[in-house]
Amino acid sequence: SQQGEEDPQALSIQEGENATMNCSYKTSINNLQWYRQNSGRGLVHLILIRSNEREKHSGRLRVTLDTSKKSSSLLITASRAADTASYFCATDVNSWGKLQFGAGTQVVVTP
């Protein structure tokens, strides 16, 4: 079964708007990561947040982690058409690199 569950499954916004997606997981983690996948391509790592961190920023990305609720959110600010992709959260339970991925949120940004 999947460890991470993303919400919403799909998101459609206009350029300049913010996009927020959420991830819930089931077991204790060492870290949680967000990846991006363009259609038919491999995944690209975006950001990693450790279990003892609550918030992290990278450019237009902001990630939060609430370990008490076993949830995380990814915010993309001032979205661009190039942000159109699927976004996946992945949890690292034992630091062996055996990440468990959710089903992803498909984001479409229209000009």
**Residue choice 40, 68, 69, 111 for contact with another protein (CB under 8 A):** 40
Q: Choose, by CB under 8 A, the member of 76, 88, 107, 109 that binds another protein.
A: 88
Among 27, 68, 69, 97, interactor with another protein by CB under 8 A: 97
List residues bridging with 30 in a β-sheet.
none
Binder to another protein among 19, 65, 99, 107 (CB under 8 A)? 99
CA angle at residue 93 from 35 to 1, to 5 degrees? 75
What distance in Å separates the CA atoms of residue 72 and residue 53, rounded to the nearest whole number?
11
Question: Is there a contact between 107 and 11 (Cβ–Cβ < 8 Å)?
Answer: yes
Distance of CA 53 to the CA centre of its chain: 15
Count of positions on this chain that bind another protein (CB under 8 A)? 25
49 lies in the binding site for another protein (CB under 8 A): no
Residue in 18, 28, 30, 51 binding another protein, rule: CB under 8 A: 30
57 binds another protein (CB under 8 A): no
Nearer to another protein, 22 or 31 (CB): 31
Measured between alpha carbons, how far is 9 from 107 in angstroms, rounded to an integer?
Answer: 9
Q: What is the helix (H) or strand (E) element at residue 99, kind and residue range?
A: none
